A and B are shown apart, each in its own frame.
Chain A
Amino acid sequence: MTATGQPAAPAGTDERLLRTSPLRRLLGRPELGSVVGAVAVFLFFTIVADSFLQSSSLGTVLYAASTLGIMAAPVALLMIGGEFDLSAGVMVTSSALISSMFSYQMTANVWVGVFVSLLVTLGFGAFNGFMLTRTKLPSFIITLGTFLMLTGLNLGFTKLISGTVSTKAIGNMEGFSSARKIFASYLTVGGVELKVTILWWAVLVAVATWILLRTRFGNWIFAVGGEADAARAVGVPVVRTKIGLYLGVAFAAWVSGQHLLFSYDVVQSGEGVGNELTYIIAAVIGGCLITGGYGSAIGSAVGAVIFGMTSKGIVYAEWNPDWFKFFLGAMLLLATLLNAWVRKRAEATK
């Protein structure tokens, strides 16, 4: 996971080239604090909720974590690059709507709709990145605009094309069953239902981690998030990097959107609003800084697991749902505080 140590440098050279011990390197990882938080949340719900530890419950928690984690990984990369994407939540719905309606209206094989949707969703991502780098406005504003526009487009187009607020069923069309296998199937392993989204999630996190730690693009992400002007001065292609990050979010939104469509066959045009904050929360619990330049993709996965455990654990514990949001908020604050505390301790020992 971490970069291999350089050969020991002779005395008097750059301190960045010094060899560090594996334990030191582990303690310095951004996601360490969130792992401690995850263990704490897990133990807590194991104690207070009887049905939390059943294998079927763990399948449910993992599924909840995966649907969030698929989005949290690219959002974490984007945040390391110093930007936000508030349109990510509704973009998922847009992507599902486009696939479904294109296939239905054109009476095309469902896979055609899936690929058209990929192109259009990537177009939304490119629009975000392009507007951001062209206008120099903060990404918060740009993507807030995209968020509102997409919300309106989702509803407007769906009503215009389908005549109702949800899409028509495409379950009997060609290609649906094969697409369902790819995006929304599950296998049962020892009584636990594992959804395919867990696999998608693992692959996306692995790819994101590889990009971040092993490629030139990964270095660029850290550079533009840390200090964009300095990065530009040393020749980092800031514009390309940021557009690339938005494309990453759009790609994940496409995967999530296809999962929604092929799980439920019909898409509601009004959903997805508010989820963008959940993605950001997962990334932040996982050790990303709101200010950019620091974080990890693995952390976003741990953050998604914490969120999944908390949101489902509260239900397994049979707490009154009126207080649900309060507990969720309190748990997330505690997890993030613990995370920050562990990070401080780890840095102090360097």
Chain B
Amino acid sequence: MGAVLAAVLGASLMGCSSTGGKRAEERAAKQAAEGRSAVNTPRWTFAMVTHSGDGDTFWDIVQKGAQQAADKDNINFLYSHNDEGQQQAELVQTAIDKKVDGLIVSLAKPDSMKTVVAKAVKAGIPVITVNSGSAESKAFGALTHIGQDESIAGEAVGDELGGRGRKKALCVLHEQGNVGHEQRCAGAKKTFDGTMQNLYVDGTNMPDVQASIEAKLSADKSIDAVVTLGAPFAAAAVKAKKTAGSKAEIDTFDLNASVAAGLSDETLGFAVDQQPYLQGYEAVDLLWLHRFNKNVLGGGRPVLTGPQIITAADADQLAEYTDRGTR
């Protein structure tokens, strides 16, 4: 009885977003798929365990995509996350204990996840990796990896910066310990003909992020480009640039509504999108396909969802979707 009640409560909570004022319009947008699946396959349970911190914009979009696919494919979708490797591994273990029908994990900290993912594979649970871990995915026994190759994405940024005539760039890493972020900055450094240095900030503390970037820009006036690795940090960088009186161009990885607006009014140079919605959506959908029809996508190679360089010209068309929180 109590279990049923908890499940009902859980399911109803899952349906509602905790991100505040967009609820009404989201409801309108979601009505199309609300509780109505397009298939008559059994109700499988898929768990997604990511390395997201609390309240992360990017992962919120991934989750929306996954939830949309889950609604459509008649899937009971469970989401959990922790930004410490050991804790994330324990969450995967709980999913194995629950004997889920499919598992989606992000491998930002591959070494912490190695053993537990192998355990899932051994238990016969199909695993798909998303977002980070393209290099390890196959070795760990996952079906497919969905995401962007971080090195390639970084190289695209380095090229773009060079094309814009930049000379001295700053790469702002907000998730210390994330190997993918290191790869992005390293990739950018590789193809960028100017100099590039890394700046580590605490991504869970926005004022601190702004203060760190500000200090750096005040100290070194020759910096003419700042690359942030997540959409929310672009806004902080823009503020920091204002207070520091710097002339640097702010560019960022990932999109959100304010980045789209920033691109339109040219306070931002460009954004590199990896389409998080697609990562969540495809992961669930591919697991469904694998359970339903043993299909595997990608031919043993990662399925890439990015990088997509977005500038002022493209931003206007995307505004509608970024406002909705799905791009």
Contact = CB atoms under 8 A, between A and B. Distances in A.
A180 to B, nearest CB: 11
Q: Is the interface of B mostly helix, strand, loop or mixed?
A: helix
Interface in A221-272: 260, 263-266, 268-272
Interface string B81-116: 100111001110110111100000000010110110
Contact of A315 (B94, B111, B115, B178): B94
Contact of A316 (B13, B97, B112): B97
Interface stretch (A55-63, A119-127, A288-296): A55-63
Given A47-B2, A67-B86, A320-B14, A269 B176 contact: yes
Interface stretch (B3-11, B125-133, B162-170): B3-11
A50 interface: yes
A264 B109 CA distance: 10
A155 interface: yes
Contacts of A265: 111, 114
A312 B176 CA distance: 25
Contact of A321 (B80, B115, B176): B80
A331 to B, nearest CB: 14
B81 A166 contact: no
A57 B95 CA distance: 10
Given A47-B3, A49-B6, A318-B7, A312 B177 contact: no
Contacts of A64: 90
A317 B91 CA distance: 13
B80 A271 contact: no
A270 B200 CA distance: 11
B90 A165 contact: no
Contacts of A115: none
A165 B176 contact: yes
B86 A263 contact: yes
A319 interface: yes
A173 B52 CA distance: 32
A268 B10 contact: no
Contacts of A63: 90
Contacts of B54: 325
Contacts of B93: 60
B13 A323 contact: yes
B6 A318 contact: yes
Nearest to A186: B115
Contacts of B295: none
B179 interface: yes
A165 B178 CA distance: 8
Interface in A178-208: none
Q: Is the interface of A mostly helix, strand, loop or mixed?
A: helix
Nearest to A318: B10
Contacts of A319: 6, 9-10, 13
A49 B3 contact: yes
B94 A268 contact: no
Given A50-B3, A57-B97, A165-B176, A268 B14 contact: no
B17 to A, nearest CB: 9
B97 A264 contact: no
A67 B86 CA distance: 10
Closest 9 CB pairs of A and B: A270-B176, A268-B177, A266-B111, A320-B13, A270-B177, A57-B97, A322-B18, A48-B6, A315-B94
24 contacts: A48-B6, A49-B3, A51-B97, A56-B96, A57-B97, A60-B94, A155-B176, A165-B177, A263-B86, A265-B111, A268-B85, A271-B86, A271-B177, A312-B94, A315-B91, A315-B94, A316-B98, A318-B10, A319-B10, A320-B10, A320-B13, A320-B14, A320-B18, A324-B80
Interface of B: 2-3, 6-7, 9-10, 13-14, 18, 54, 78-81, 84-86, 89-91, 93-94, 96-99, 109, 111-112, 114-115, 176-179, 182, 200
Interface of A: 47-51, 54, 56-57, 60, 63-64, 67, 155, 164-166, 169, 260, 263-266, 268-272, 312, 315-325
Given A264-B114, A270-B177, 18 more contacts: A47-B2, A48-B2, A56-B97, A60-B90, A64-B90, A164-B182, A166-B111, A169-B111, A264-B85, A264-B89, A268-B109, A268-B176, A271-B85, A316-B98, A320-B10, A320-B18, A321-B81, A322-B18
